[in-house]
Amino acid sequence: MRNVSKPSPEIRSLANLQHDKTFKLAECGKQLRSGILEKKIAGTVVTWKTQGVVLTDRMICFLNDDGVIEDDETVIDYIPLHEVVQLMMEGENKSEREEKLCLIIRTVEGGHNSGRTYVYRMKTEAECLEWHKDMSTGLKLAMKAKRQEQELQEIGDSKYLWLRFKAKKLIKARTTHIVMSVLIFINFFVDVYEAEELPSVSSLEGWIVRLVGIVVTAFFTVEVSVAAFAMSENHFKPFYSDPWNIMDLMVVVVSLVVTPFETDPQLKVLGLVRIFRSGGRRREGRGW
């Protein structure tokens, strides 16, 4: 039950709430689920204490059990959802055969709750399943919100920082890794074929080899340029501090210089530098 006769305080950021010793339930975000649950108190003898529990889109709030849950109640403890490392159900005696009435919430070490584990007991397994489902949804929302908050802190209002942040995401994206890996292997086999067969420039094979070389060089040039921009803070120090990045840059520059002259037999051998580019990119440091 919620008290609608009193004005609700404005919802505040999690960072602001963490600085306050006390705050109201209405300040904790959008409420997803609430109820009176039994909290496990571990000691010489295990006891269970009833407590108000409210799940919001940012945290799990705990209240004193007054029989009802109202927006103007003071939160006595809480768990930031992005600090939950494990959420599971089990029986009261941890037996596989008994009903799963207990919800176990494990928190991250060094976080607000210092790695503590919370155990809450429900009346039925169906109720426990509903809480587990809603908390799982809340965890996803909280993790997404936390990522967005970190992005905003990194980007601020700068368009340049926003573009650089997007460049970092593009470079680290799994799809980018897959595409570049495929191009690397295609480029490697084409270069080996060209070195062994030496196809005529006027032949279809020679035309395909040259086209693949141009396309791959273009893709790698864009990739190195985006990577350099993504690591452009501190005058590109993160970029040039990695020897693999320097090798990438040098190989791409050589490839760009050589590409227009690959039909010249004397310069054709320089085109094989792409093999070193292929080998150099198959490394763990950049996710290949």
Tally of helices (H runs) and strands (E runs) in the chain: 9, 7
**Residues 71, 163 within the same domain:** no
78: which strand partners? 61
With a pLDDT cut of 90, the percent of the chain lying above it is 31
Identify whether the C-beta of residue 102 lies closer than 8 Å to the C-beta of residue 129: no
- pLDDT tens column, 19-71: 566 788 988 888 999 999 999 998 889 899 999 999 998 899 999 987 788 88
Rounded distance between C-alpha atoms, residue 23 and residue 73, angstroms: 8
Rounded distance between C-alpha atoms, residue 4 and residue 12, angstroms: 19
In a domain, 8, yes or no: no
Q: How many structural domains comprise the chain?
A: 2
Candidates 54, 56, 127; CA nearest to 64 is: 54
pLDDT at 1: 42
Candidates 249, 221, 254, 239; CA nearest to 285 is: 239
Assigned token pair, 164: 């650089």
CATH of the domain at 183: 1.20.120.350
CATH of the domain at 123: 2.30.29.30
- pLDDT tens column, 84-142: 999 999 887 776 667 778 999 999 999 999 999 999 999 999 999 999 999 999 998 88
**Residues 95, 62 within the same domain:** yes
Name the residue with tokens 């949804």: 137
pTM: 0.55
Higher pLDDT, 207 or 269: 207
- pLDDT tens column, 179-237: 888 887 887 788 778 777 777 777 888 888 888 888 888 888 898 999 999 999 888 99
Instruction: Write down the mean pLDDT value for the chain.
Output: 81
What are the backbone dihedrals phi and psi of residue 218, each rounded to the nearest 5 degrees, phi first? Answer: -65, -45
**Residues 19, 130 within the same domain:** yes
What residues make up the domain containing 118?
14-155
**Taking 50 as the threshold, does the pLDDT of residue 150 lie above it?**
yes
